[in-house]
Amino acid sequence: MDNIYILGIESSCDDTSAAVLKDGILLSNVTASQAVHKAYGGVVPELASRAHQQNIVPVVDQALRQAGISREQLSAIAFTRGPGLMGSLLVGVSFAKGMAAALNIPLIDVNHLQGHILAHFIHTPDDDYQSPEFPFLCLLVSGGNSQIVLVKSYREMEIIGQTIDDAAGEAIDKCSKVMGLGYPGGPIIDRLARQGNPEAFAFAKPNIPGYDYSFSGLKTSFLYSLRDWLKDDPDFIQNHLNDLAASLEKTIVDILMKKLRLAARDLKINRIALAGGVSANNGLRNAFRDYAKRYHWQIFIPRFSYTTDNAAMIAITGYFKYQDKDFCPMDAPAFSRVSV
């Protein structure tokens, strides 16, 4: 039986990434990040799409070289179809379509959010990572998404809770920007929080029914509290930076974990996974381990290299779909917004 080689391409936001799998095992995962956005405090769509155009050819070439294969050996090409920034997506979608047509191989479209969840099934030749068995619950937290997903199989996923306004990552980035800490705010807040007192300040927590989230109230509470403190002490942020970061992080983690615990209890599921860019946060990872001890959860925390946007998660999703011959027509458009 011939080997199955899948090329994955990810270009949904500001990272251009390509990865190669052989029979479901990761051979390469190459990512080119874009530092240009830091000066603007957020991703500038036009600049992102231009950078993707510059990066995609060398990134794909390097991924194939690292995998030790030629493009003629590829069985299929998987690409992020959405959600994401439309200009960025179009670069990856167009490249994948052109390459698949030139090689006369199948094209596989991948939902970016499903890719984050299925990152738990990425394996390298020498790893011992244990993937979760189905069904399991996944807390998917990234810059634009905060969701609790019931994962019944790699094909069947049900959102049972999600944010009704800001996502956790958005709240962190906006609060970081107000404090003058730069972009992206997540890694900065995470680093500062490790040196601070998480009980130093109290911020508003939402009371949303069911499993849904809301972070706009927390963001507003943080901003108004900061405004009042600065009236009395213009150097308040500088003098309390670590404690502010630690208290903000703890509040967000508490909000996320409370609803996840409720869902796990109601559905009687103890296999709980974490996914998305915010899953790299140290406070959230520690909370996961703490809840696992308290509530006897079997937890699955992704390796740091698979938390942010990467093509390995696109390739593994493509591999599963390839086995089902779930291919994509050449005229399938990109989409900017969609749920799992």
Facing residues of 109 across strands? 79
- The candidate with the shortest Cα–Cα distance to 34, out of 46, 20, 19, is 46
Residue 339: pLDDT over 60: no
Q: Output the six-digit token pair for 45.
A: 């769509």
Kindly report, residue by residue over 229-269, the tens digit of the pLDDT. Answer: 999 999 999 999 999 999 999 999 999 999 999 999 999 99
pLDDT of residue 49: 87
Residue 40: pLDDT over 70: no
Q: How confident is the model at residue 42 (pLDDT cuts 50, 70, 90)?
A: low
pLDDT of residue 127: 87
φ/ψ of residue 271, rounded to 5: -95, 110
- The candidate with the shortest Cα–Cα distance to 313, out of 144, 173, 164, 140, is 140
What distance in Å separates the CA atoms of residue 146 and residue 139, rounded to the nearest whole number? 7
98 CB-near residues (< 8 Å, 6+ apart): none
Residue 304: pLDDT over 80: yes
Kindly report, residue by residue over 168-215, the tens digit of the pLDDT. Answer: 999 998 999 899 998 788 999 999 999 999 999 999 899 899 999 999
Kindly report, residue by residue over 70-86, the tens digit of the pLDDT. Answer: 999 999 999 999 999 99
Percent of the chain with pLDDT over 90: 82
Residue 46: pLDDT over 80: no
pLDDT of residue 322: 98
In angstroms and rounded to an integer, the radius of gyration of the C-alpha atoms of the chain is 20
Kindly report, residue by residue over 261-293, the tens digit of the pLDDT. Answer: 999 999 999 999 999 989 999 999 999 999 999
β-strand 107-111 against 76-82: which pairing, if any? Answer: parallel
Q: How far is CA 203 from CA 13, 193, 216, 247, in A?
A: 31, 15, 12, 8
Q: Which of 75-79, 100-104, 268-272, 305-309 has the lowest mean pLDDT?
A: 305-309
pLDDT of residue 105: 98
Overall average pLDDT of the 305-313 stretch: 93
Total-model pTM: 0.93
